[in-house]
Amino acid sequence: MRYAVALSGHPDAATAVGEVVGQVMDRLGSSPDVAMLFISPSHLERAADIAGTVLKTLAPGHLLGCSAGAVLAQRQEVEQAPGLVLWVGRTGPARVARLEGGRLPVDLAAGSSVLLVADPSGFDADVLFDSIPPDVTVVGGLASAAGRSGGNRLLLDDDVFSDGAVAMVLPPGLGARPVVSQGCRPVGDPFVVTGMDGDLVLTLGGQPALRRIREVLAALPEADGKRPGIGLQVGIVINENRSTFGTGDFLVRGVLGADRDSGAVAIDARVEVGTTLQFQVRDAASASRDLASTLRHHRAQSALVFTCNGRGSHLFGHAGHDAGHFVDRLGTTDVAGMHSAGEIGPVGGRHHLHAFTASALLLGTDGPGDDPNAPAMVAEEG
């Protein structure tokens, strides 16, 4: 056994940390190489005390953690209630870092996997991604316990921060594998971008982009058109050399709005003329199918999961959907994580900051393996 996960729902922070430390010590003993804490809003003001107790009683080599609007462990996702999750592992030597200027350290070993948590305020994802070597994988999320600047807590060994980003670097050789489930399915036909202005798509296939959206929506099956919570997104094709595109062939981004007079559509990305786009539908059924398909090739000893705070009961109507899928598909209960204000993970061989995804780092996989140059496993249709 290399990993252990514990959850406490006790409202008293001192009792909760005692419970989770006791549970992991029963399974894995003391002095693990790494530990990670996920702390619900009700325990936020006691974050430093919680971290101090873990360091003193469990004595991990390094500790990383943050506050989150909801936490998850095993099959449970604790929303709007006290929750404290502790994940520990015997990974071999690890290191931690406070990211200076948002950049990773320059001397990371090839094949390393980085777990990263950050405060959303002032976080510059582009700076981070520019600092990631091609043979290093980064998975993580943005703290979500508070919407205001300075309201979250980031834990790094015995330090507590309310801004910036902190990271834990895991060594190569752990069978690490990133997965990102974007939770969408393509609808309508793909279109080539024929006119752009900044983040405004002017024309698709020579026609106003808004007209293309209306055509796609009008062609949706009646059941789709009446489904509550349906959300229209846009997918940017990852590999233009493919002749057909299905679920998993896109980087999904939001449709932000449209100008009825000009027919331009604003999207949450900047793309070049000549790029292929296809509109996407996100709803509970599509998200559930996509996650199941993304995980179907994998078994793992453990997983650290960063799922969007817009998923959970908001999307699926009940708590525990994503956590349950990871447990069932991977064949392990050592699943831990949080609901995030943004998720970090690679798609198409490049790292991105996502929304509405379930991004995870699998450890001890018997799937495709510990290849940092491979893209994250993506889903197929069906």
Q: Helix, strand, or coil here: 59?
A: coil
> 50: Cβ–Cβ under 8 A, 6 or more apart, which residues?
13, 16, 17, 37, 39, 43, 84
The answer to whether 107 touches 97, Cβ cutoff 8 Å, is no
| Domain limits, the chain | 3-182+288-363, 185-281
User: Which tens digits make up the pLDDT trace of 91-145?
Assistant: 999 999 999 889 999 999 999 999 999 999 988 999 999 999 989 999 999 999 9
The answer to whether 183 touches 287, Cβ cutoff 8 Å, is yes
Rounded distance, CA 1 to CA 342, Å? Answer: 31
Rounded distance, CA 12 to CA 201, Å? Answer: 51
Res 226 pLDDT > 90:
no
pLDDT score for 368: 43
Rounded distance, CA 285 to CA 117, Å? Answer: 29
Length of the chain: 382
Question: Greatest CA span in the chain, whole angstroms?
Answer: 66
Q: What percent of the chain stands above pLDDT 70?
A: 93
Q: Which residue has the tokens 């559509």?
A: 265
| Residue 333, φ and ψ in degrees, nearest 5 | -95, 0
Bridge partners of 344, per DSSP, are 140, 353
User: Which tens digits make up the pLDDT trace of 165-195?
Assistant: 999 999 999 999 999 999 888 899 999 999 9
Among the residue ranges 29-38, 111-120, 157-166, 236-245, the one predicted with the least confidence is: 236-245
| Residue 348, φ and ψ in degrees, nearest 5 | 65, 30
| Residue 335, φ and ψ in degrees, nearest 5 | -115, 130
H helical segments located in the chain: 13-28, 47-57, 125-130, 209-219, 222-225, 284-295, 312-316, 321-330
User: Which tens digits make up the pLDDT trace of 191-215?
Assistant: 999 999 988 999 999 999 999 999 9
The answer to whether 296 touches 175, Cβ cutoff 8 Å, is no
